[in-house]
Each structure stands twice: as structure tokens, then as C-alpha cells.
Structure 1
Amino acid sequence: MTQQLNTQIFAYTKQLADSAFKAHSLALKGLEKVAELQLAALEKHAQATGEFITDVLETRDAEGLRTLWEKGANLGRQNAERAVSVTQEIFAVTQKTAESLGALVQEQQQAANDAVAAPVAAVKKAAAAATK
């Protein structure tokens, strides 16, 4: 009886560790993708801002200031659009990661249900055979 209990506990612990590893792996992949998206957006922002600063330093007359004003407004709009786009991509990655984790949880619940149901069915079968 003790051996059977130890075997079941070992199997459950192994299953739990495997599930934790899978969940951790999924979470890290999602986090890695989010970090990549954010770094790419930061790089684009920095490049656009650097170009704008170069234009500011090269401006010498009123016409240049007028052009600079338009470029500044355009830069602000582009940065806002880029931020919204990246936010949407990050949300999609987060949603996909959450769905994957949800599927993993459902898989584990089904495995746990099967693990509990199998010994109960075996006991019922043995009891039915003993009564005949």
C-alpha cells in the first residue's frame, strides 16, 4: 500500500514539475517577445528623435523653423502611432501566452482527473469481481 502511494505521489510530483517547467517556458517566451518589441520600438524612437535633433541643429532661418515645426508635429504623430502599434502587438503576445497557459492548465486538470479516476475504477472493478 505504501509503495503504491509513493508511486502515485512520485508520478504526481513529476507531472507537476513538468507542468511548471512548461508554464515557465511559455512565460519566458512571451516575455522575450515583448522585450524584443519594446526594444525595436525604442530603437525607432531614438533614431527618429536623433534625426530630428540633427535637423534642429542645422536650422538657420525662419523657413527652416517652419519646416522644423512641421517635422516635429509629424514626428510626434509617428511616435504615437508606433506606440499604439507596439502596444497592440504586445497585447496580442500576452493574449497568446495566456491562452497557451490556459490550455496547459486544462491539460493538467484532465491528467489529474484521469489519475484519480483510474484507481477508483480499478477498485470498483475489483470490488465487483469479489462480489461475484
Structure 2
Amino acid sequence: MTQQLNTQVFAYAKQLADSAFKAQSLALKGLEKVAELQIKALEKQSEAAAEFISGALETRDIDGLRTLWEKATAAGRENAEHVVAVTQEIIAVTQKTAESLNALVQEQQQAANDAVTAPVAAAKKAATVK
């Protein structure tokens, strides 16, 4: 009896550890994708800022200042559009990760239900055979 209980406890613990490992793996993959998107966005923004600063340092007259103003306006608009696009991508990655984690939880619940109902069904079957 003790051996059977130990076997069930160890099987459940192994299943729980496997599920935790899968969940951690899914979460880390999601975080990695989000970090990659953010780093790419930061690189692009840094390049745009460096370009703008370079243009600002080269401005010598009022016409150059007007051109710089127009570039700044366009850069601000492009930056805002890029931020929105990156945010949408991050939300999509987060949603996909959440769906994967939800599927994993449902799989775990089904396995737990099966683990509970299987011995009961076997006991009922054994009882009806006797």
C-alpha cells in the first residue's frame, strides 16, 4: 500500500515538475521575443536620434533650421508609428504566450482528472467483476 502511494506521489511530482519546466520555457521564450523587439526598437530610435543630432550640428542658417524642423516632425511621426507597431507586436507575443500557458494548464488539469478517475474506474470494474 505504501509503495503504491509513493509511486503515485512521485508520478504526480514528476508531472508537476515537467509542467513547471514547460511553463517556464514558454514564459522565457515570450520574454526573449519581447526583449528582442524592444532592443530592435531601441536601436532604430538611437540611429534616428544620432542622425537628427548630426543634422542639428551641421545646421548653419535659418533654411537649415527649417529643414531640420521638418525632419524632426517627420521623425517624431515615424517614431510614434514605430512605437505603436512594436507595442502591437509585443501584445501579440504576450497573448500567444498566455494562450500557450493556458493550454498547458488545461492539459495539466485533464491529466490530473484522468489520474483521479482512472483508479476509481478500475476499482468499480474490479468490484463489479467480483
TM range (shorter): over 0.9
DSSP-derived class of the 1:60 partner: coil
What is the distance in 2 between the residues matched to 1:29 and 1:115?
A: 30
What is the distance in 2 between the residues matched to 1:118 and 1:45?
A: 58
- Runs of 4+ more than 2 Å apart: none
TM-score by length of 2: 0.99
Match of 2:21 in 1: 21
What is the distance in 1 between the residues matched to 2:127 and 2:95?
A: 48
Instruction: Give structure 2 stretches of 5+ with no counterpart.
Output: none
Which aligned pairs between 1:23-38 and structure 2 lie closer than 5 A?
23-38=23-38
Match of 1:59 in 2: 59
What is the distance in 2 between the residues matched to 1:4 and 1:128?
A: 22
Instruction: Give structure 1 stretches of 5+ with no counterpart.
Output: none
Q: Deviations over 1:103-127 (max 9, x none)?
A: 0001111111111111001111111
DSSP-derived class of the 2:60 partner: coil
Match of 1:3 in 2: 3
Match of 2:80 in 1: 80
| Residue type at the aligned position of 1:37 | L
Deviation (angstroms), 1:8: 0.5
Which aligned pairs between 1:40-59 and structure 2 lie closer than 5 A?
40-59=40-59
| Residue type at the aligned position of 1:97 | T
Deviation (angstroms), 1:11: 0.4
Match of 1:100 in 2: 100
Q: Give the stretch that moved more between structures: 83-92 or 119-128.
A: 119-128
| Residue type at the aligned position of 2:24 | H
